[in-house]
Amino acid sequence: MSTELTIKQAQADVDHWIQTIGVRYFNELTNLGILMEEVGELSRLMVRKYGEQSFKETDKGKELSDEMADVLWVLICLANQTGVDLTEALQKNFEKKNIRDANRHKENEKLK
């Protein structure tokens, strides 16, 4: 049974989990630190899988999808804590990029 999960629903689901299982949100600065840790774990796996570093025993069994989900989870926590509607924020970000970058990448010689 697969259902689509919207960003809005993900924010609600994370909040529900925090309120019922997680007890409470860590404070914003703690979650920022956790986000940096999770990005570091994702980075470590990426440089081993796509970069030139070799895997270590401690890297075995780790999945990119799980590391990306950890990053997203903590980002959603921070959005919930700070009152950011990520759906609205992403829509505004697309609008900004569509105006600012309308021709920027098409004219970039490095991308041709």
User: Does residue 107 lie within any of the structural domains?
Assistant: no
The answer to whether the beta carbons of residues 31 and 77 sit under 8 Å apart is yes
Residue 1 included in any domain: no
Q: Token pair for residue 90?
A: 């992403």
| Number of domain units in the chain | 1
pLDDT tens for each residue of the chain, 112 residues long: 568 999 999 999 999 999 999 999 999 999 999 999 999 999 999 999 999 999 988 888 999 999 999 999 999 999 999 999 999 999 999 999 998 988 888 888 888 8
Angle, CA of 13, 16 and 19, to the nearest 5°: 150
HSE of 13, CA atoms in CB hemisphere, 13 A: 8
| pLDDT at position 44 | 95
**Is 109 among the domain residues?**
no
Indicate whether this model's pTM tops 0.75.
yes
User: Does the residue 65 lie in any domain?
Assistant: yes
Give domain status of residue 47, yes or no. Answer: yes
- Looking at the domain assignment, is residue 112 inside a domain? no
The answer to whether residue 76 sits within a structural domain is: yes
Q: 40 lies in a domain?
A: yes
Alpha-carbon gap, residue 18 to 11, rounded angstroms: 11
CB 72 within 8 A of CB 66: no
Q: What is the CATH number of the domain that holds 15?
A: 1.10.287.1080
The pLDDT value given to residue 1: 52
Which residue range forms the structural domain that includes residue 53?
7-85
